[in-house]
Structure 1
Amino acid sequence: MAYEPPAGPLTPGGFDTPRDVAAGLPLFLVEQWRASDRTAGEARRLLSRHEVRGYSVVSDSAGLTRLSQRLGLLEVLALIDRPKRILHACARAAGGRAVGVWAADNAQLFHPDAVEASTLLSALLTAQDEIGRHCEVRIGIGVHLGSYYELSGGLYGAEADAAEEFAENDTEGGEIAVTQAVVDRLPQGHPFALARKDGIGGLVGPVYQVLDGPRLAIPGLGETWAAEGWPGEPGSTGQEHYPIPYSGAFYADLLLLDSRPGDAELAERLAAEHLRERTVVLIERSAAPADTPEVELLRGLSLSAAMRDVGLSLLPPEGAVEIKVAGPLGIYLFDEPVPAVRFALALRTGLAEREIVGRIGVAAGPVLAGRTPGGGWDIAGAPVNLASKMAQDLGTPGRVHLSEAVHTALVDHAAVGDHAALGDHADVAGFEAVRRTVSGVEMTYYEG
């Protein structure tokens, strides 16, 4: 079982940055939990203050792997931006609001329980129509009506996790899928055409595809979703943009690229301006099983806070930055690969001392990283995806996994005898090549 830190305040070094910068990690609640007797009853009491009931709407893009094979990162980001703008405009028209930061192709909205299910489905059908007409990228949308815990701008809890899982894994581009709880809220004799999806169940229950139904008329929709994407404070132009994960300056360039599709010269210029060769360290910590979902949630948050504490204590003062610690994941960005590997190995050791086991991936290449309008950091690029695949999809618990580029950098340093840079534990000989096939593509990485 993973270690849970002792009661009382968290280690001071882990909380030098403002709390709202720790995206996805409600540190205030972690402190309350650690100061309590940590019983199931106390977990329910603490979380009940943050309980909300309504619809969780989650979208997932389709076909990005194929697009990324022929387009650069910025071109892909421009393509996935437009569906997010459309979805946000339509969902707001039905009484919804954005949840979290919409990084990469991720989007989530919350609609209060008072919203009629028929209104929401009509708005989403309108969104899919508009996306189909104006976007190259299609999205799948999953909807669940349930109870969640709203913490630091995100939705937590067993139902929140289940809703995200079925939306990301069991929807296709252009599809709207809803759970039984949503269907039960539709009036008798409703005008929507539904079809049961096979092979989905569990906590969210049966899932149905929305094949057809009335659309929600949204006056000036085209102008609305086009305008609300522009950066600026909410309300500054009469519209509220979705929570973009980029700086205002970069987002303006992204919209320019979206307005000039196929402009290779512009894409190349913006890539040279915004992308940098960096090394990404991504860790997925072990789960924290418990007797009740509430205790499991709070114990997991406490472990994530401990992971953040350890990571910040080991992070070099220069050439590195913590991007985020959210849920079981931590992401760090380094200027150079060798310090990144040294950090990854030290992080594994530091967590092991607290009986926390993690799978770590380290990958290098061009990335887009910077501060978001909310004050935190976010990142995008192939190294993030590769580090995630090595750590989350293919990795072995307790091991560090290096991409070929990172391993080559270690070999080069070892060849010139740069042991001081490598550190005592960064022994190249300790990493062995692993070849795996993922989605029909063979990849090689090094595990140690």
Structure 2
Amino acid sequence: MATYNISLADLRQDIAGLIPAGLVLSWNGQEKTSARHEQLLAPFRKRGTLVSTDSAGLSTLTQRYSLAQVMKLVSEPKEVIHAYGTALGGEAIGIWAADNSQMFFGEEIAPSRVVAQMLAVQERVKALRVQVGMGIHTCECYRVGGGLFGEGADFIEAIAEDETAGGEIVVSGAILEWLPGGLRDAARVREDLRAHGALWSLKDFSGRVEAVEGGNPNYPTPFDAAFFQRLRSMSVEELGTEAFPEYRKTRTVVFVKAKHAPREFLLDSFTDMSLIDLTVRRIAASHGADVVKSNGTLAIVLFDEGREAVAFARDIIEGNRVLGVEAHVGVARGEVYLFPLANGEREIAGNPVNVASKLAEDSGLEGVLVERSVSLGGLERDGVPFQMTLSRVELAGHRFVV
């Protein structure tokens, strides 16, 4: 197994990914104190209201519809969220890949107005086939490299993704105190979330809310403008027969999820992310792999063959282990769509991505988990068979201990 020596000396902005290299190097170049930390992050500090969303039942959808159909169904509520969110002065954060979205509303916009606007969104989304759960929180965070960082941002994103149901809005205590009497009375305590703090649920609110009608559905898509136009103009039924050969590829997908250790300082977490991203890209280059995305938290890397994908995955786990980071890897094969973006980057969608991410993030197993769609050319003899159900989807394959 190859050895890779990764250090901050190798960090350059062209390979630093999401986090500015200068920020990481400045932090690590002098004594690390709370005062310096605050000074370096001061230009990036924001205060306001965050809305994170997650669609319900994506894994089940992929079993019933074609990829293009699923993308339309998932896109429809995101179009409503963006239209209503921007109408109120909200800003879309990052690329809205998969079934997630995130918006930021500056502190000049009252949190109560944000909640009212999102209640109007949920009312509109009721008519769609895909429903979304939302988390809303007001806090201080940091806008760095196009993303939002900080405890509050991480907190509400996790709540939206893991603890909300379709049609539901979960609000924090910081939001609840801004709500008018009728809304506050309608909110119900989520007793099951006590471990996360005081959280309240709003669902099927029947009262009147004041909202601004939205007119801009053009959210930051994980595909190019031409595909988005076709997605919006075609029906679900029409998309079921559309092949999109210009985007369609058959690939072995490696999904890497890095499990970060808690850090006292956010800039130390940024340092970890930069080193993990550098590790992924360097090891991928040594294997001749195609890195679609890598941000220091997750990576999606493509291969033609299964054996080389497993060899890369082993090296990734070892490389992260040297950094003191635990990496989980899922591997699956099948048809994916690869989209060129206006900024020169690419995005990917497809069931192999969903399966590989489930294996890496939700299986609870260590090592390299290779789904049975991947041909291993006899390598399976070195693995341990597995079978499990994740998000009501049956998965089986082989696990390779590293």
Determine if the TM-score, normalized by the shorter chain, exceeds 0.5: yes
**1:140, distance to aligned residue in structure 2 (A):** 1.3
Name the SS for the 1:199 alignment partner.
helix
Query: Match for residue 164 of structure 2?
Result: 171
Aligned to 2:80: 86
Q: Name the CA shift for 1:271/1:339 in 2 (closer, same or farther; >3 Å).
A: same
After superposition, give the CA deviation of every residue in 1:416-445 in whole Å (9 maximum; x if it has no partner): xxxxxxxxxxx5432111222334443212
- Cα gap change, 1:345 to 1:93, in 2 (>3 Å): same
> Once the 2 structures are TM-superposed, how far is the Cα of residue 142 of structure 1 from its aligned partner?
1.3
Amino acid at match of 1:168: E
Match of 2:59 in 1: 65
The whole-number CA distance in structure 2 between the counterparts of 1:27 and 1:381 is 32
1:110 Cα shift? Answer: 0.4
Aligned residues: 395
- 1:349 is aligned to 318
CA apart distance, 1:335: 3.3
Number of the residue aligned with 1:433 = 385
Partner deviation per Cα, 1:50-102 (whole Å, 9 max, x = no partner)? 22111110111113233222111110101111111111111112221111110
Match of 2:369 in 1: 401
Asked if structure 1 preserves the Cα contact closer than 8 Å seen for 2:283 and 2:315, the reply is yes
Contact 2:59 2:391 in 1 (8 A): no
Instruction: Find out whether 1:321 has 2:298 as its counterpart.
Output: no
Q: Which residue of 2 aligns with 1:56?
A: 50
1:304 is matched with: 273
1:261 matched to which residue of 2? 236
Residue 154 (structure 1) aligned with residue 127 (structure 2): no
8 Å Cα contact 1:279/1:336 also seen in 2: yes
1:108 aligns with 102
Tell me, what secondary structure is at the counterpart of 1:360?
strand
Amino acid at match of 2:174: A
How far the C-alpha of 1:217 sits from its partner, in A, is 4.5
Matched position secondary structure for 2:165 = coil
What is the rounded CA distance, in whole Å, between the counterparts of 1:318 and 1:256 in structure 2? 41
Q: Which residue of 2 aligns with 1:136?
A: 129
2:256–2:298 CA contact under 8 A, matched in 1: yes
Classify 1:190/1:370 alpha carbon distance in 2 versus 1 (closer, same or farther; 3 Å): closer
Q: For 1:86, what is the secondary structure of its paired residue?
A: helix
Counterpart of 1:285, as a letter, is: A
Structure 1: runs of 5 or more not aligned:
230-240, 415-426
CA distance in 1 between counterparts of 2:186 and 2:21 reads: 44
Partner SS, residue 49 of structure 1? helix
- Counterpart of 1:243 (choices 213, 220, 223) is 220
| 8 Å contact kept, 2:223–2:339 | yes
RMSD: 2.6
Q: Distance in 1 between matches of 2:273 and 2:19?
A: 8
SS of residue in 2 equivalent to 1:362: strand
Structure 2 residue identity aligned to 1:343: F
Compared CA separation, residues 283 and 91, structure 1 to 2 (3 A)? same
Instruction: Return the letter of the residue paired with 1:137.
Output: V
CA contact (8 A) 2:168 2:201 kept: no
Q: TM-score, normalised by structure 1?
A: 0.80
From 310, 327, 330, give the equivalent of 1:358.
Answer: 327
TM-score w.r.t. the length of structure 2 is 0.89
Q: 1: distance between equivalents of 2:165 and 2:183?
A: 24
CA shift for structure 1 position 29 = 2.5
Q: Deviations over 1:347-376 (max 9, x none)?
A: 233333444331111111111122223332
- The alpha-carbon deviation at position 111 of structure 1 amounts to 0.6
Q: Which amino acid aligns with 2:252?
A: T
Q: For 1:357 and 1:252, locate their aligned partners in 2 and report how far apart those are by CA, in whole Å.
A: 40
Preserved contact between residue 162 and residue 204 of structure 1 (Cα < 8 Å): no
Alpha-carbon distance between aligned partners in 2 of 1:208 and 1:360, rounded to the nearest angstrom: 34
Change in Cα spacing, 1:213 to 1:278, as seen in structure 2 (3 Å) is same
Structure 1 residues 357 and 195, CA, compared in 2 at 3 Å: closer, same or farther? closer
From 373, 376, 380, give the equivalent of 1:410.
376
Check conservation: 1:363, 1:386, Cα contact below 8 A. Answer: yes
* Partner-residue secondary structure (3-state), 1:410: coil
Could you tell me which of 277, 281, 285 is aligned with 2:254?
Answer: 281
Which one-letter code corresponds to 2:103 in the other structure? L
SS at match of 2:126: helix
Mapping of residues 18-37 of structure 1, within 5 Å? 22=17, 24-37=18-31
1:139–1:173 contact (8 Å) kept in structure 2: yes
Shift of 1:242: 1.2
Contact 1:180 1:208 in 2 (8 A): no
Q: Which moved more, 1:277-286 or 1:328-337?
A: 328-337
Runs of at least 5 residues in structure 2 that lack an aligned partner in the other structure: none
Deviation string 1:175-224 (CA, Å, 9 cap, x unpaired) is: 222111011123567687322222224565332325344333535x4xx2
SS of match in other structure, 2:337: strand
Q: Partners in 1 of 2:334 and 2:186 — Cα distance? A: 46
**Distance (Å, rounded) in 2 between the aligned partners of 1:73 and 1:190:** 38
CA distance in 1, matches of 2:277, 2:57: 33
Partner SS state of residue 31, structure 2 = coil
SS at match of 1:361: strand
